[in-house]
Amino acid sequence: MDVLSGAAAGFLAAVALALALPLPRTAKLALLVVANLAFLALHDRMAPGVFLAVSLAAFGLARLGARGISGGLFALLAAPIAALLFLPKTGLFGTNPAALALTGFAREFAKAPAAFVASSYFTMRALHFALDARREGKVPGTLLEMLAWNGFFPTLIAGPIERFGNFSQSLDRLGRPDFGDFTHGAWRIFVGVLKKVVLSELFFELSRPLLDFGSPAGAALGTGDAWLALYAFGLYFYFDFSGYSDLAIGAGRICGIRLAENFDNPYLRPNISEFWRTWHISLSTWIRDYVFLPLCGRSTGAWRPRAASVASMVLCGLWHGPTLGWAVWGVFHGAALALHQSWTAWLRKRFQWKQRLAKSRVAFVASTLVTFHFLAIAWIWTAYAGAGLGTSLRYLARLFAIA
C-alpha cells in the first residue's frame, strides 16, 4: 500500500475513528495492535508474523535482561534479532519485485522481500526496548504497550525510530486528539506530501545526470552540470526522507500520539556533528546510545572515540545497504566525525579562538558551506552503491575537472 495513496488515507481515517470510540485504554491498545498488523499484512501476509516473532523475542529478552542475565548471554540471545537489521537486504531471501520500480534511497529499503517490510525499524525499536530493560533493571512497559509502540503503523516504513519512553507519554491521549492535534497533524501531512510528491520528485529529476553518469549519455556531462546534479541529489535525499517523517508525525497526531521530531534543518549546520544531531535524529541518537557509546566504553584516551565514530558510521552505512558504496559513505562520515572531535579538543584548549569563531558570522557561513559540500560529495558513494566504486570515482573526477 503506497503511503501517499487514497487507500492509505482511508486506512488512517478508519483507525483514527476506531480509536476515538469510548473504549477502555487496554481495548484501544489492542485495537491499535490489530491496526498495525493489518497495515503490515497489506504489504505481505507474512510480514505480521515476522513482526510478532521479533517483538515477542525482544520482550522475552527484555524480561531476562531485567533479571540481570550476563552480558554474554544477553548478546547471544540478541544476535538473531539484530541479524534482521542486515540480512533481509543481502538478497539471501530473494528480492522484492516492487523494488525494481523504485529509485534512489527507496530502492535500498525495498531490496528485502515484502515479508521483511519495515523490519529495520521495528527491529531497532525492539532492541532498544530490550537493552533499556537490562540497563534499568525493569521492563519499560507491558507486552500490549510494546506491540502498540513497536508496530505503530505510521512509523513502520521509514521511521522515525520512536523511543518507547516518549511514545508511552502519549498513550493516555491515544484516540483523544484535541483540535490542535488535528490542525497540526493535517498541516504536517500536507507538508509531507508537498516534500515527497513535489520537491522530492523535482530534485530527483534534476539529479538524473548523476544517476545516469555510468551510461553512455553521461560521458558528455560538464563540470557545472555535475555540481548541480550533485546538489539536487542531496536535496532529494532530504525532501524524500524528511517528507516521510512529516507524514508519520502528522498521522500520529491525528491518532493522539505525539512523535518526536526527526529533522531540524540539517543542511544548515556548521559541522558534521551538528548535522548528525539534526538529520534523522531518531537514527543518529539510536546509533549514539547503542553503538557509539558502548564502543567508547570507559576509555579516557583520544583514539577510542575516534575509532568508535568510524565503526558506528560504517555499521550505519551497511544498515542502509550491504554494499561497498554504503560502507565507504560510512567511512567518510566516521572519519569526519573523528576529525571534528580532534578539532573540538584542540579548540577547547584555545578559549579565545573558540570564542572568536563562535561569534564570527563569516566563519559560520564558511563552515556551513564546507559541511554541505562534504555531505553532498559523500552521497555520491550511495548513488552507485551496488556497482562498485569506479563510477563514483569518475564522477568525483568530473566534479573537479580532472577527467
Catalytic residues: 320
Q: Please list, in sequence order, all residues whose beta carbon lies within 8 angstroms of the beta carbon of residue 118, skipping any fewer than 6 positions away.
A: 40, 43, 47, 51, 156, 157
396, three cell numbers: 568525483
How long a stretch of residues is the chain? 403
Nearest to 381 by CA among 393, 372, 397: 393
Q: Please list, in sequence order, all residues whose beta carbon lies within 8 angstroms of the beta carbon of residue 115, skipping any fewer than 6 positions away.
A: 44, 46, 47, 49, 50, 93
Contact 120, 131 (CB under 8 A): no
* H-type alpha helices, 349-360: 351-359
Gap between the Cα atoms of 246 and 81, Å rounded: 28
Q: What's 44-86 look like in SS3?
A: CCCHHHHHHHHHHHHHHHHHHHHCCCCHHHHHHHHHHHHHHHC
> Kindly report the CA angle at 114 between 112 and 119, in degrees rounded to 5?
65
Contact 290, 127 (CB under 8 A): yes
Gap between the Cα atoms of 42 and 62, Å rounded: 29
Give Cα 207 to chain centroid, integer Å. Answer: 22
| Residue whose cell numbers read 521492563 | 139
| Residue whose cell numbers read 567511512 | 331
Gap between the Cα atoms of 270 and 247, Å rounded: 28
Helices (H) and strands (E) in the chain, counts: 20, 0
